[in-house]
Structure formats: C-alpha cells, structure tokens
Amino acid sequence: MADASMMLEVVERVQESQNVISLRLKVVEGAFQPFLAGQHLPLRLDLPERKLATYTISSDPADHGGYRISVKIEPNGKGGSRFLHEVQVGARIAAERPRGKFVLADDARPVLLLTGGIGVTPALSMLSVLARQPERPVYFVHACLSATEHSFADEVAEIVTSAPNVRGYVAYAEGGETDVAAGRCQGLGLLSRETLRALLPLDAYHVYLCGPDGFMSAMRAALVSLGVADAEIHQETFGGGVSVVKKEAKRSALPEAVVTGVTEIGASPVVRFVKSGLEVAWDGSSDNLLELAEAQGLRPEFECRSGICGTCACRKLSGEVAYTEDLIDSPKEGEIFLCCSVPKGDVTLDL
C-alpha cells in the first residue's frame, strides 16, 4: 500500500437526518493522514460506474482517531452515495490522502460559515477549529428545508452554546412557528439579504459558502451587495453545478479551419474549444481549464475539482498541459482532466 493510501473500516454509522448518514472510518492499514478543515477524502469504491469518489470530511481535524464523512442520498440516488448509504459497520474501504483547497485562512479575521443543505459538511469541520479560537468572531448560518432534513442540529447547538465567540442561525424554508418556539430554527423561509444584514455586524469577513448552486449564487450576490469583498467569499461547489469564475477571459470566434501553431514569444496561449466554436486567450484569470470553460458559459461535467474522480476528462486534440495537482490515476490516452490542468502553450480541446 502506497504511503498516502489507507484501508479504512466503518466503525460507526449514524442517521443524521432523513436523507443524510455519517460513517465513522478508522484506519486499519497504512498511516492516518492528517487533514485541514474543509478538505475531502478520496475513496476507492471500485463500483462499475464509479471507481473513485470524494466526500467532505465532517469531523474535527484534531481527532486523529479516524475520519467522519457525511453523505446525502437523493431520491434517485445511485453510485457512491447509494453504496455508502447501504454499507454497514465492519465494511472496509480503500482511501487516499485528504485533499482540497477549500480551507480556513490562517489569520484572526471574523468568519462567516454560510451553508445550505448538505453543504454544511465542510463547515462542521471548520466550526470545530474556530470554536478553539476565542478571539475570532464566528457566524454559523445554515439553511435547510425543514426539521426532518436538518442534519447535525444537536452537534452545532452544543458548539454554539459552549463557544462564546460563535453565533448560530438556522432558517427552515418550510418550517413553522412551532420550530422557532422549540429552538430548532431561528428563521422561516429562504435566507435573504435583509436577514444577513440584520445578523452580521459590519466587518472584514472571510466567508466560506457551500450548498446548492442556486443558494450559493443568491447568497454571494447578497453578500457583495452588503459590501463583502467578492475575493473574500470562498466557495465550494459539489458536482454537477457551475462554479463562480470572477473574471471572464477574452474570447473570439473560432475560424472554420483550426490551425495548431506555436504561441509567439510573449503572447498568451490560446485555448480552442472545437465543438463550441470558441477560442480563448489564457490570461491567468482562471485557475484551470475547467474554470476557463465555465467562464465561456460551457458546462463540462465535474465532481471533485481536484483531479480525483475523472468526471471532467476531456479529449485533447493538440497541445500540452501541466497539472496543478498530484493525480491519483492518470487520464486515458489522449484525454486530460480539465479541473487541474493549465495550458503549456496553445491547446485544442474537444469541447
């Protein structure tokens, strides 16, 4: 087993809400790999439709006894989430070292953890860390549908009660006055700009935003309108949606005949999206080719955004790329992983 690989055993299974379970995983082969709050754990499920899948670690990074992952099952769930919802204590799952860049900034500025639904998972790990920093104001704001879908309610309430620097607020989109009276939530309906303005004192926040795409778009717009710097809003996108790309690269129509040439000295590499009829100058405003494609309105498939799952694999027709992540598995011959590659010169993609 490679140094960064582990064999994990399920030692506990907890039903967190109507559609979310947590699995406590203990390392039984290999060495425990430390992680940062907000990172995810790549699992080798070796299912026919999914070899590798990533799940955010929801446990405290200070706990080196293992990992906790929390998984939501959708009504038509399949693949990794369905498998993990059926797995029982004693099952063994191979894993790689934790990864991910959605982590806390290393300073003492105030923090807003703003989450919707299963997007709460990275915030749980972050909250554990922040509760041990009494000088740092923390606002934990969570939105979900109702009490039946409110995961980790008791766990978060305990932290909010015991940590004087943490304030909590929960909104139920379909709750009732009985939920407010019982203390299960503090607000009813969708989170709004007005709610955030009333909750948050003016300050220079680091914001960590995670949840469904529509929720994140609405909350990001609301925060920016309240004066939060867009660059301080750190966002985690789960599979299937489109991430926010702050700058749009220059674009032009793709000529009928695509000619692959060598980039002139001092010129920006050009990325050609053949199927879409676009060519785009690589100007450094995107972190990788997936973000560049999204900035043009394209919707490539993705999940982990860190070179693990292979969902974003795309055929490369010409050119060379460099990878910004250490790959666990290489793409197929002639393909690249969009989420962690950057052009080394002009590149033509079958997209």
pLDDT one-digit tens code per residue, 89-100: 999 999 999 998
Per-residue pLDDT tens over the stretch 161-176: 999 999 999 999 999 9
Q: Residue 160 corresponds to which tokens in the numbers above?
A: 């909010």
Residue indicated by tokens 């980790």: 152
The answer to whether 341 touches 320, Cβ cutoff 8 Å, is no
Q: What is the predicted pLDDT for the residue at 202? A: 81
- Domains of the chain, with CATH numbers? 6-95 (2.40.30.10), 111-236 (3.40.50.80), 251-349 (3.10.20.30)
Is the full-model pTM beyond 0.85?
Answer: no
pLDDT tens for each residue of 109-138? 999 999 999 999 999 999 999 999 999 999
More confident of the two residues 92 and 302: 92
Summarize the confidence of residues 213-234 as an average pLDDT: 94
Residue 255's pLDDT is 40
Strand order in the sheet with 278-281: 251-253, 278-281, 270-273, 347-349, 313-318, 335-337
In our burial notation (b when 16+ CB lie closer than 10 A, e otherwise), range 135-166 reads ebbbbbbbbbbbbebbbbbeebeebbeebebb
Tokens of 347: 């590149």
In this prediction, residue 126 carries a pLDDT of 98
Mean pLDDT calculated for residue range 258-285: 74
Question: 69, 58 in Cβ contact below 8 A?
Answer: yes
Of the pLDDT bands very low, low, confident and very high (cuts 50, 70, 90), residue 311 is confident
pLDDT attached to residue 238: 58
